[in-house]
Structure 1
Amino acid sequence: MTAVGVAGQGAEQDFSSRLLESSQTLSYDPSTEIDWDAPLPADQYGLNPEWSTLYGTPLWDELTEQQRITLTRHEVCSIMSTGIWFEMILQQMILRDQYVQDPANSEFQFALTEVADECRHSIMFARICQKLEVPAYFPSRVVIELARGLKSLAGGEVAYGAGLVAEEVLDVMQRDWMRGENVLDIVRTSSKIHVVEESRHMKFAREEIKEHMQGVGRIKRHLSATVISIAAYVIVNALVSPKVYAAVGIDTERALAEVKANEHRKSLMRNASSGLMEFLDEAGLLTPPAIAFYKRVHMY
């Protein structure tokens, strides 16, 4: 190994060591941080109204206050259900990437720490949906089956890139939810926990992507960029299930049409994705075909 390679490996170990130290000093236990027995105030939203898929549409204006509250509770649980689904995929990709790696390396140890964090997050989200008495919302059967290929085959920059996409978008949403005075405390507290712990995961993912992209050829770079963008397209589309509208007595066909034309939501998504797009561009993963997919879900 060259001197440059040794130095780079040392820097990566130092970076992972700092993340490990951070996880040891600033982590949360949802089972004690969240008051699971507290009653749910009837007048509080599941997420900031501005983050509802229908906010800013004529249909939103027609809804009663109770319908708006119920809708946002179903929407936040749909997002959490999708989060559980993708966190399970991410855990498998991370474990496969770290298979038979040196367990003494801080990179290996932080990767397992991230898996442990994701397990706790998934349980936290599951308990919140159970507390709100909202059913599990899953992506379509086609998406679920296609995702089996991603979790079984994706590695390197594709695995960490797909994970980063999901984490970055949810991070921006939850930073608003944790400050929402009209949002359920159970959602605000879980958002705070997720934001703090996912910030380390995102830093780790970015470093892993940069490491894996070193010396990557043009064909592989374009292929990876496209796969990551397709994953982003699928994840964003799956966040809020169409079934949430019927669950609160809204005509699904009309709701989907108004969501599709909702300029407010499009603007939110572009703003939420701006930092991610900048990073992907710097990493060489923002190619014209990839941009086309990001534009379809208003991330670019």
Structure 2
Amino acid sequence: MAVLVPEQAGPLEESEVFRRGVGGAESNVACALAALGVPTAWISRLGADGFGRLVVTQLAERGVDTSAVAIDPRRPTGLYVKEIARDRSSTLHYYRSDSAASVLGPDSLDLPAASALLGEARLVHLTGVTAALGYRAGHEGGRRLVEAVLDRRRPGQLVSFDLNWRPRLWDGLGTGRPAAILAELADRADVVLLGTDEAEAVFGTDDPHRLRALLPGPRVLVVKDSGHRVTAFDDDGVVTEPALAVEVVEPIGAGDAFAAGYLAGLLRGYDQRRRLRLGHVCAASALMVAGDHGTPPTTAELDVLLSCSASQWSALRASEGAFAGAVS
């Protein structure tokens, strides 16, 4: 989606100047993966309008392949507007009803460009945002699209799923129906990421071990306790890695950045702790900027950060775009 961000904090009705940009769960992950040097493509639908052209241009500038983006001649590009409070916390206002992306469905995967990309991909990333598309309009195109990706994955191809709970997208259904849908989809994925706060809201528990019992299907389950620690379950056991101390500018986009870091580590064959650390570093990079997209450290800096001892890791502090501590 396109994003409008006010230049100054305060109520929207008092905001006179806005910066335009691009945001959204899957596109954020795509941009963060590309920033880490992972070849990445983004598949979606946009309107034949200025905001749609902005999204394509900015993603392409960040190194994301947009060749499979479809243009809808009748529906507009989705938009959200940030409202920044005096304490720098953010509220997001979405304007995406009947947008081009709201009618995504399994047929989107059959377009030649999309089919070619999906046929080559080592990993396909999906979220609960896509799964919710169409419900308020009375159809289930988003859920059927996620199911189609899961059904069509080829041997060796991984599918990751980030819960990304957005209650307004499921408005009118209560919690029970979305919880059942999301649990079914997540349990069929290979890698699942979810936060303890959203897990509590959807599944009624924030306990990592209870969540693993609820979702036994994925090869890997990653449970994020924001600002504290992340716990990963796989066939080799359980690994927990504490979050970094970060001087936060804005929290929006940090979860997507973590997902990108973790998935990049997975694709590179990193062990579980190194994947979690890369996720933490990418999340910290996003937390230190006003916007959805942070800049990760250089390859040399990352190698030092990911290889430090437990005591060195706990001593790290992230502030103003830099990581400092007892590491050299």
Quickly name the TM-score band, shorter chain normalised: under 0.3
Pick the structure with more strand per residue: 2
TM-score if structure 2 supplies the norm length? Answer: 0.23
TM-score if structure 1 supplies the norm length? Answer: 0.25
